[in-house]
A and B are shown apart, each in its own frame.
Chain A
Amino acid sequence: MAECGEIGMMLGAFEDSELEPNEMQEVAFHLARCESCTGILADYSTLGRDLRSITAEPSLAGFSSAVIARVDRLPQPVLTRIARYLRRQADSVGSGFAWGGAAAAIAVLTIILMTPYAEQFANRGPHSTTSIAGHEAATAVNQVAEATASEPTMADNDSHADISRLESENHSVAVWSEPRRDTTVIWLPDQP
């Protein structure tokens, strides 16, 4: 078991989700068994929450649609425009039809052009056997109201779980993925 002094130095970064996955795991593992460090982390959480509550956050309403609208107005290569047009058409065409393989080659090309599809293909590749990459773990150190994340996923698609929402009253939830073990872990240490 790691020493409290060693863990204590990582608690601030743990609270801010800035540790490497193996460090997140080490801290979560220690916290699960150390009331003293759990207490210190709870103090960090309270401090962080209080600090956040006194700063005014700028409104982001309409921000993403404004960005997308500007991107749409940029001059685009013809293939990109075709791909974008098809994506919009596909939404309205529905998913139930298949007209055989008449344009199979074009379909393949289109699939490759389409980022989500391309990502799916990429993700079917062999999983890395090296240690977990930094972006595959994240921590939600949040209250219920602010923990809802609809857009970003917390675990990478390489892992076996793709978390789109995580709510907990617990202030120190740790999430990490172990692709080699086909496992995603959500760690909810008991509050002191």
Chain B
Amino acid sequence: MTLRPGSLTFLIIAIAAFGTPGLAHAQAGPKRVTVYIDSVMAADTNEGTDPRLAPMGKKLQGLFGFSTYSLIGHNEGQTDCGKMIAFTLPGGKILHVQPRAIDGDMIAMEIVLFDGTRPMMTTDLKLKNNGTLIVGGPRYEQGMMIISIGASTGGSHPMRAQVGAPAQANTR
């Protein structure tokens, strides 16, 4: 048997090697993504961690060294791949999240953070399903703002803040 390019054997190998994972991707399930946004004010005012932040509070304590973490806003919304969802956050910030594709366990998305109408940051990333991206730094009141962005192809997120009815989001 010779393995000449273009031979039938080659074609079979190629399809067996790449067709199967390709099909698995094609059947990768829901294209709907739930986006969770928790806006947190972090400061050094020794007021402890807002109980509504559990379990994210522990994570924040481990990541940063502030003595106060207070939940100042929670938003969540569902959108489809290719469709941008906009969130109005405290402090005049606006967050646009556009899931692009679901690739295995990763969700590809574009995130744009605005301060009013001025874009502060634009990023393209793949976030692990149920993973968290934290965008922090802008000053907020006596501390600074930390925005936790979670995305999930399921209906819940392990790091979601424990709140009642979340603020609305606008899909476009």
Residues 10-51 (chain A) with a chain B CB within 8 angstroms: 25, 28-29, 32-33
Set of chain A residues within 8 Å of B118, measured between Cβ atoms: 169
Name the distance in Å between B159's Cβ and chain A's nearest Cβ. Answer: 8
Interface residues of B in 120-158 (CB under 8 A from A): 120-128, 130-139, 144
Chain B binding surface, main DSSP class = mixed
Cross-chain pairs A/B with CB under 8 angstroms, 9 sampled:
A86-B13, A106-B16, A162-B125, A163-B124, A166-B123, A183-B63, A184-B131, A188-B120, A188-B138
Across-interface contacts of B62 in A (CB, < 8 A):
178, 181
A85 to B41 alpha-carbon distance, docked (Å): 54
Contact assessment for A183 and B18 in the assembled complex, using a CB-CB cutoff below 8 Å: no
Contact A182 B128 (CB under 8 A): yes
Indicate whether A93 reaches chain B with its CB closer than 8 angstroms: yes
Interface string of B91-102 (1 = CB under 8 A from A): 000000000000
Q: Does B65 contact A (CB under 8 A)?
A: yes
Which A residues are within 8 Å of any B CB, using their own CB? 1, 25, 28-29, 32-33, 82, 85-86, 89-90, 93-104, 106-107, 110-111, 117, 120, 155, 160-170, 173, 178, 181-190
Residues of B in contact with A, size category? 35 or more
B interface list, Cβ under 8 A from A: 3, 5, 10-23, 25-26, 44, 59, 62-65, 104, 106, 113, 118-128, 130-139, 144
Q: How far is the CA of A110 from the CA of B13 in the complex (A)?
A: 9
**B22 to A188, Cβ gap below 8 A?**
no
Q: Contacts A97-B15, A164-B124, A168-B120 known; A181 to B59 CB distance under 8 Å?
A: yes
